[in-house]
Amino acid sequence: MSYNVLKGKRGIIFGALDENSIAWKTALKVKEEGGSFTLTNAPIAMRMGKINELAKACNAEIIPADATSEQDLTTLFTKSVEILGGKLDFVLHSIGMSPNVRKDRPYGDLNYEWFLKTLDISGLSFHKVMQVAEKNDSMNEWGSIVALTYIAAQRTYPDYSDMAQAKAVLESIARSYGYRFGKLKKVRVNTISQSPTKTTAGAGISGFDVFYDYANLMSPLGNASADDCASYIVSLFSDFTRMVTMQNLMHDGGFSTTGITDDLIARLSK
């Protein structure tokens, strides 16, 4: 059901790779709620992904941009404001990649060039997105910027490797830039800490299926799906959450504040 809560709002959605992507589901829901946007992804992902299908369904233009390139980001923001016919009200940063994870490097044998790449793509790019948006004066007052994160920023998950550090950086940037953008333009900045979700990025973590099941058993509501996450993102882009900023918001079915569950006890007692 649509409530038109984003009627007249304009934005940019980063990170839709295929129909499982959190950004993909978000784009469909933002469209349904009356928002208009441009879609973007790394040029290399465009060749692998199916973003054209999504663009058609959402009547959205695609502007390729590597989120680590200030030049690409400047073009993206400039063109988006032109195409959409005004400044922006929302931005979704739904980006993550670690060469060390992808190539299964043990945490005690990381490649540091790759580590820096992980930090740049998955953490620092969030700062770059906001710095470019500020310098270009692309955001409307009371706009909303959201990035996706994972609880491995606070607690150790061995296979999450250097992505844990990247997410810690990302969450810290949300607080620091949230302060700055709030003062400057009343723009709010938050991260959503999402349950394990079956996507390309998720499945890239080894042992993913096990910790997906574990989190599901450890959450009174079960794991939050990508669709649920999309709805939550819509609420953060809407005017109903105007005073929420600089927060790391847990979207995890209760996982982060649960000690143990009956379901897990039953499983372990077998």
Ligand X SMILES: NC(=O)c1ccc[n+]([C@@H]2O[C@H](COP(=O)([O-])OP(=O)(O)OC[C@H]3O[C@@H](n4cnc5c(N)ncnc54)[C@H](O)[C@@H]3O)[C@@H](O)[C@H]2O)c1
> Smallest distance from the beta carbon of 15 to ligand X, in angstroms?
4
Residue nearer to ligand X on the CB measure, 186 or 249: 249
Of 74, 162, 177, the residue nearest 120 (C-alpha): 162
H helices present in the chain, as ranges: 22-32, 43-48, 51-58, 70-84, 99-102, 112-119, 125-135, 163-185, 200-203, 208-217, 226-237, 262-269
Residue nearer to ligand X on the CB measure, 11 or 202: 202
> Smallest distance from the beta carbon of 132 to ligand X, in angstroms?
13
**Which tokens is 142 given?**
């009371």
Helix, strand or coil, per DSSP, at residue 183: helix
Bridge partners (DSSP) listed for residue 36: 10
Residue nearer to ligand X on the CB measure, 31 or 167: 167
Using CB under 6 A as the criterion, which residues of the chain lie in contact with ligand X when the complex forms?
14-15, 17, 21-23, 41-42, 45, 66-68, 94-97, 121, 148-150, 194, 196-197, 199-202
> Smallest distance from the beta carbon of 71 to ligand X, in angstroms?
13
Residue nearer to ligand X on the CB measure, 15 or 143: 15
Distance of CA 233 to the CA centre of its chain: 9
Q: Are 255 and 151 in contact (CB under 8 A)?
A: yes
Q: For 234-243, b where at least 16 C-beta lie within 10 A, e where not — what string?
A: bebbbeebee
Residue nearer to ligand X on the CB measure, 94 or 140: 94
> Smallest distance from the beta carbon of 67 to ligand X, in angstroms?
4
> Smallest distance from the beta carbon of 147 to ligand X, in angstroms?
7
DSSP state string for 112-131: HHHHHHHHIIIIIHHHHHHH
